[in-house]
Amino acid sequence: MGLETLSTNRSFGGVQGVYKHASAATGTDMTFSVYVPDHAPGAKLPVVWYLSGLTCTHANVTEKGEFRRLCAELGLIFIAPDTSPRGEGVADDPDGAYDFGLGAGFYVDATQAPFAPNYQMWTYVTQELPALIAQAFPTDMDRQSIMGHSMGGHGALTIGLTFPDRYKAVSAFSPIVAPTRVPWGQKALPGYLGDDQTAWRKHDAVALIEDGARIPDLLVDQGDADNFLTNQLKPELLEEACKAAGIALTLRLQPGYDHSYYFISTFMADHLRWHADRLGSS
């Protein structure tokens, strides 16, 4: 498999690991983290995927997410991929902006130069990395769920809506729900995918719902002191789309909370319990 272990640490009876491998999808080395709780020999555990936001790597949630105690209690494997390819020769935003290029892959398969050779994050997260995880860790891949934050919330929503039979639960913190309608997405989607707006809609949760994608229910937490709330996130658009489609959305506007991991870590346990209930975990 070519999987290299970068570090392992004992935590709440389980093991927090960080790993690296050569990705065929991105043409680069990719780093990700996996927490595996203590379990009986031969047991297969359900999997929660966590997709991170702009500027982040696997390390942000691994170090700040405060998920391990509850994952150990509930018997959940927690996986955090990187947000983009990295390394020598990987294209970046020509102006060095934080919201495009390195750290900002937007979970799409780029078709535009110079990004197409490496920015194949949709394939990486939905195909290549799950296959590797299934081989290397004690996973029950019939019980997977997905969550994410900000750009990663966008990724979790669009992936969950695209593969409703694969992911038994979907949730998000402060997601970009309609990237085709906000500045972050209006920069990233044409930059990676070109001018065909049909291709953009496949990576817009609200558009996917409008076009017929369905999941039974959805949990979203959003801080009302988030400085990106009105300009970039617009959770009311998701609320309207879910209501029209009959999707049971639990949208919680949390007073005083911002966009940071102080917010995410506060409500992480609620999300993990939401996922465990739908995964049939303990």
What are the catalytic residues?
Answer: 150, 226, 259
Tokens of 198: 């049909």
Q: Are 20 and 4 in contact (CB under 8 A)?
A: yes
Q: Are 165 and 83 in contact (CB under 8 A)?
A: no
Cα–Cα distance for residue pair 252/223, rounded to 1 Å: 8
**Residue 64: burial class (beta carbons within 10 Å; 0-12, 13-18, 19+):** middle
Helix, strand or coil, per DSSP, at residue 7: strand
- Give the start-end residues of each E strand in 57-138: 77-80
In 8-75, which residue ranges form alpha helices assigned H by DSSP? Answer: 58-64, 68-74
Strand partners, 217: 248
Residue 16's nearest CA partner among 35, 43, 2, 1 is 35
**Residue 265: burial class (beta carbons within 10 Å; 0-12, 13-18, 19+):** middle
Task: Give long-range contacts, CB 8 A cutoff, 24+ apart: 228-231.
Answer: 228/150, 228/174, 228/259, 229/174, 231/182, 231/183
